[in-house]
Amino acid sequence: MLQLKNIYKSYITGGSRQIALDGINLKFRESEFVTILGASGSGKITLLNIIGGLEHFDKGDIIINGKSTKEFTDSNWDSYRNTTVGFIFKNYNLIPHLSILENVKMAVALSDLSKQEIQEKSIEALNKVGIKDYMKKTSEYLSKDEMQRVAIARALVNDPKIILADEPTGNLDSRCSMEIMDLIKDVFKDKLVIMVTQNPHIAQKYANRIITVRDGEVIEDTNPLKDELHQKPIKLNKTKLKISTGIRLAIRDISNKKLRTFFYILISSIGIMGIALIVALIEGFNEKINNYENDSLANYPIVIDKVYNNSYIYKTDSDKQDTENIDDLKSHKDENVIYPYDSDEDDSKHKNQITQKYIQYIKNMDKSLFSAISYESQVNMNILKKDEDGKISILDTSCINLSSYPKDYGDGTYLEQNYDLLYGYYPTNQNEVVLVVDEYNRLDTEILNALGVNYNNNKKIEFDELIGKEYKIILNNEFYKKNNNYFYIDSSEENLDELYNSKKAITISITGILRAKKSNNLYDLPQGISYSNELCNYYIENCIKSDIVKAQENSDYNVITGQKFKNSNVNEGVVTKISGVNILNNINQSATKNQMLSSLGASFLPSSITIYPKDFEGKSDIIEYLDNYNKDKPKDEKVLYKDTSTPINKLSTSIMRAITIVLIVFGSLVFLISLITIFVLTYASTLERKREVSILRVLGSKKRDIIRLFNIENIIIGLLSGVFGVFMAYVFIMPMNFILERIIDLPNIAVLKIENTLILIVISILITLIGGFIPAKIASRKDPVEFLKKV
Ligand code: ADP
Ligand code: MG
């Protein structure tokens, strides 16, 4: 049934070729007991391994039941070993931590047999070798001859056609040797047994054929087979490790090494726990920031001002580059001069044309998006100025960006906190006002002209020229003269002179020139004249009581022009929340009349609109709505808005980004460390199992199946580590949140979501799988012969 044709095998060691088999020609019967005798190093084991398919010959051929093995693949050899050959070793090669029964089952674990059949066959085999009573014990408690009995049972259980035995009694005393030899002879009586031995007595006593080898050659054969072989085709079963078998083997292996597995899982789960905690923190922080943005930033309104200033909002370096013309200017200079410039030529400034049409567009906006809209008219203070030649004229307040600053703002004054004093002094009383310049010390020529500053197209104006400049505020009752039911402004030189010098006029003077601090991200005061809230309130109170306002309240025509108001009702659905800048915030009639009252003839339209979004989503919808208006409009007809939350938004997201990056870097480190740890652990455990792998290979396991077995085991360990790690993370989150709440006053920062938990468990499985894959591959590649020959 087996024929060796001219087999050559040599090894190259240390550069020289060592011939192990030198042209072996042998034929074996289907049933005979053959011993191979020879001195150490004569090539006996090499011959045995080649017959068993553990080693491959260099030249020649092995014919198995008429089939040449020249074309055999690795997988064919595996199947051949698994179904046709049984091995018995001198040193038994049992796996010590497995039970006796499991050691036997290993030989059939890869077969198609059912669990029940495997169990029955294994017990039957153990029965035959005289071991049955303690088959649940692990093999390490057995005596040597009992171990060899188990090894014989393992070779028997598969019902192989060929038994290959390598000095099976080499480690036994003579009495035990006899017993074992009797047993082998008995249980394999109708098989082909090929046994290697150095003991001629045993060979003589048990064999029906003795083949003697020397230096890789057969020098004697006591019973050679002369006639042609009786040839019956062999059937090679495909051996394949079933997943269920793999899982069973893996679970058994894990449970057999409980303590080791426990530490293994503990170490790798610490990594998973670290990642879980970091994920929980990032997740929680993100949520907190989102809530914060939704809740508080949504309250920051969208403002449409008369002049949209690009650098007003964005103060980051990249945004600055967008504004042309100022590239050559240096910001925050230390010079006592102002640079006049024409804002009409400045791209960073855009004059919004708030038309009736635009107001209507705003009014048509979905009312569920905002909680309030306020239309603000600029306070139309009546201010007189005196030119250098002594001429008195009315100052056009619409040009000087009048604004008011809050008096107190935490520690120190609002101005001192947010604005650098370039010249003069911070105001000390309500009649002192400041001039605000931009970061390049510039001031719009429009403002300079309105203020009556004669700069004669100079490139620079000394601060000195502006400090101390005086203006007169004229209250309504003096400013507007009454004529029957109408009011008018007497702009004759004599009257203006008289008003200017009247005791009732309020004298204001510029006492300081200010510039926003570098750290001031909000730029809330526009360039121009800024005065205190106190002055503003004083003026408003006076205006409300004035004759002209009272008259206007009680009439439905314009008290200056006599025109009837249109019957439009702007207030519908809109809360008119007007800041202190507006003088007539409590008048609740038609808007045009309202505006008339606000401006008293100066302007019929609001100079700015403030929209308070209801929530974060509402805000983005509003922005989209406002953007739609500008679509396809020429540049100068566009109305640009500013989102006052943008700087804060940018600030908070950059802080958030920083925190997230720190956490991610930290998390990656933990990830890397646990990856390395798991890799090392798996590698170590795989090396430790080299013996087991070799035995599995000898018994016919394919490399792929061994990798699969390791993978299954690693998946289980990864799963356990992941579950345990996530569980520990949940346990740790409670005290962590408690401590964090104490420190930063935010409850429940770390949140571990279920989906993240699942992802982490999958990651844990993947790391273990990857960490174990390479060592598993190395282990499966190890030539089992190397290992078996060494021992
Ligand atoms: P025996 O079993 O009779 O002791 P072996 O088959 O083990 O003989 O060895 C035959 C010859 O081949 C010896 O000279 C041995 O040194 C050499 N040999 C066997 N296996 C290897 C190997 N894996 N690498 C190198 N040389 C080997
Ligand atoms: Mg040897």
Give the chain's mean pLDDT: 80
Residue 33: predicted pLDDT: 95
CA of 463 to the centre of ligand 1 (A): 103
**Protein residue whose Cα sits closest to atom 5 of ligand 1:** 43
Contact yes or no for 714/771 (Cβ under 8 A) = yes
The answer for 742, left when phi > 0, alpha when psi is -120 to 50, beta otherwise, is: alpha
Taking the C-alpha atoms of residue 281 and residue 277, their distance in angstroms, rounded to an integer, is 6
φ/ψ of 741, rounded to 5, equals -65, -40
Alpha carbons within 13 angstroms on the beta-carbon side of residue 499 total 28
**Protein residue whose Cα sits closest to atom 23 of ligand 1:** 786
**Protein residue whose Cα sits closest to atom 20 of ligand 1:** 46
**Protein residue whose Cα sits closest to atom 13 of ligand 1:** 41
- pLDDT-derived band at 748, boundaries 50, 70, 90: confident
What does the block give as tokens for 485?
């039911």
- Residue 75, pLDDT > 60, answer yes
Q: For residue 49, which atom of ligand 1 is closest to its CA?
A: 6
Residue 329: predicted pLDDT: 61
φ/ψ of 329, rounded to 5, equals -90, 145
What does the block give as tokens for 418?
């947010």
**Ligand closest to CA 20:** 1
- pLDDT-derived band at 186, boundaries 50, 70, 90: very high
Side chain identity at residue 755, one-letter code: E
Most confident of 347-351, 494-498, 652-656, 776-780: 494-498
Residue 95: predicted pLDDT: 83
Side chain identity at residue 769, one-letter code: L
**Protein residue whose Cα sits closest to atom 1 of ligand 1:** 41
- pLDDT-derived band at 555, boundaries 50, 70, 90: confident
Strands 209-214, 217-221: pairing kind? antiparallel
- pLDDT-derived band at 259, boundaries 50, 70, 90: confident
* Maximum distance among all Cα pairs of the chain, rounded to whole angstroms: 150
- Residue 409, pLDDT > 60, answer no
Taking the C-alpha atoms of residue 643 and residue 630, their distance in angstroms, rounded to an integer, is 16
**Ligand closest to CA 13:** 1
Contact yes or no for 340/448 (Cβ under 8 A) = yes
Q: For residue 38, which atom of ligand 1 is closest to its CA?
A: 3
CA of 41 to the centre of ligand 2 (A): 5
**Protein residue whose Cα sits closest to atom 14 of ligand 1:** 41
- Residue 695, pLDDT > 90, answer no
CA of 552 to the centre of ligand 1 (A): 119
Residue 307: predicted pLDDT: 72
CA of 365 to the centre of ligand 2 (A): 95
What does the block give as tokens for 756?
């993240």
CA of 214 to the centre of ligand 2 (A): 12
91-95, 114-118, 555-559, 620-624, range with the lowest pLDDT: 555-559
Neighbours of 59 (CB within 10 A): 12
CA of 534 to the centre of ligand 2 (A): 109
Whole-model pTM: value is 0.55
216-220, 558-562, 630-634, 645-649, range with the lowest pLDDT: 645-649
Side chain identity at residue 777, one-letter code: K
* Segment (H or E) for 60: strand 59-64
Instruction: Quick: pLDDT tens for 458-498.
Output: 778 888 888 999 999 998 888 888 888 888 888 888 888 99
Mean pLDDT of 598-609: 54
Mean pLDDT of 533-537: 77
| Closest C-alpha among 103, 579, 264, 728 to residue 736 | 728
Residue 238: predicted pLDDT: 63
CA of 43 to the centre of ligand 1 (A): 6
Instruction: Quick: pLDDT tens for 676-690.
Output: 877 777 777 766 777
Residue 102: predicted pLDDT: 87
Class of domain 2-237: alpha beta
The more confident residue out of 351 and 160 is 160
- pLDDT-derived band at 606, boundaries 50, 70, 90: low
Give the list of residues 6+ apart from residue 106 with CB closer than 8 angstroms, or none.
95, 98, 154, 695, 696, 699
Indicate the domain borders of the chain.
Answer: 2-237, 253-293+651-790, 301-643
- pLDDT-derived band at 406, boundaries 50, 70, 90: low
CA of 695 to the centre of ligand 1 (A): 20
What residues line ligand 1, using a CB cutoff of 6 Å?
Answer: 11, 13, 18, 20, 38, 40-46, 789
Q: For residue 10, which atom of ligand 1 is closest to its CA?
A: 12
CA of 50 to the centre of ligand 2 (A): 14
Taking the C-alpha atoms of residue 396 and residue 402, their distance in angstroms, rounded to an integer, is 10
The more confident residue out of 409 and 73 is 73
Residue 165: predicted pLDDT: 94
Taking the C-alpha atoms of residue 606 and residue 594, their distance in angstroms, rounded to an integer, is 10
**Protein residue whose Cα sits closest to atom 12 of ligand 1:** 20
Instruction: Quick: pLDDT tens for 287-300.
Output: 777 776 666 666 67
Look at residue 28 and give its three-state secondary structure: strand
CA of 715 to the centre of ligand 1 (A): 39
What does the block give as tokens for 547?
């004759």
Instruction: Quick: pLDDT tens for 631-660.
Output: 888 887 888 888 877 666 666 667 777 877
Instruction: Quick: pLDDT tens for 305-336.
Output: 777 766 544 344 444 434 444 445 667 777 78
Q: Enumerate the H helices of 502-579 as residue ranges.
A: 533-544, 547-553
CA of 785 to the centre of ligand 2 (A): 12
Give the list of residues 6+ apart from residue 301 with CB closer than 8 angstroms, or none.
610, 611, 612, 613, 644
φ/ψ of 616, rounded to 5, equals -65, -40
User: Is 729 buried (19+), middle (13-18) or exposed (0-12) by CB count in 10 A?
Assistant: buried
Q: For a ligand 1 pocket test, name from 10, 17, 46 the mutation site with the most ligand atoms within 8 angstroms of its C-beta.
A: 46
Residue 280: predicted pLDDT: 87
Q: For residue 213, which atom of ligand 1 is closest to its CA?
A: 3
CA of 224 to the centre of ligand 1 (A): 25
Residue 790: predicted pLDDT: 53
Q: For a ligand 1 pocket test, name from 8, 13, 18 the mutation site with the most ligand atoms within 8 angstroms of its C-beta.
A: 18
Instruction: Provide the b/e sequence for 423-462 (b: ≥16 CB within 10 Å).
Output: bbeebeebbbbbbbbbbbbbbbbbbbebbebeeeeeeebe
- Residue 591, pLDDT > 50, answer no
CA of 20 to the centre of ligand 1 (A): 6
Q: For a ligand 1 pocket test, name from 7, 8, 11 the mutation site with the most ligand atoms within 8 angstroms of its C-beta.
A: 11
Distances, alpha carbon 304 to alpha carbons 10, 73, 241, 436, in Å: 92, 80, 73, 20
Q: For residue 196, which atom of ligand 1 is closest to its CA?
A: 2
Q: For residue 47, which atom of ligand 1 is closest to its CA?
A: 6
16-30, 199-213, 304-318, 379-393, range with the lowest pLDDT: 304-318
Q: For residue 46, which atom of ligand 1 is closest to its CA?
A: 6
Tell the residue number behind the tokens 């519908």, with chain if given. Answer: 572
| Closest C-alpha among 6, 24, 296, 51 to residue 194 | 51
CA of 24 to the centre of ligand 1 (A): 15
- In total, the chain counts a number of residues equal to 791
Residue 225: predicted pLDDT: 86
Most confident of 168-182, 583-597, 775-789: 168-182
Rg (alpha carbons) of the chain, rounded to whole number:
49
Residue 229: predicted pLDDT: 55
Taking the C-alpha atoms of residue 319 and residue 347, their distance in angstroms, rounded to an integer, is 13
Alpha carbons within 13 angstroms on the beta-carbon side of residue 180 total 29
HEC secondary structure over 230-298: CCCCCCCCCCCCCHHHHHHHHHHHHHHCHHHHHHHHHHHHHHHHHHHHHHHHHHHHHHHHHHHHHHCHH
Residue 220: predicted pLDDT: 94
Q: How far is CA 521 from the centre of its chain?
A: 30
**Ligand closest to CA 51:** 1
**Protein residue whose Cα sits closest to atom 11 of ligand 1:** 20
Q: Enumerate the H helices of 400-488 as residue ranges.
A: 414-418, 445-451, 463-466, 476-479
**Protein residue whose Cα sits closest to atom 10 of ligand 1:** 43
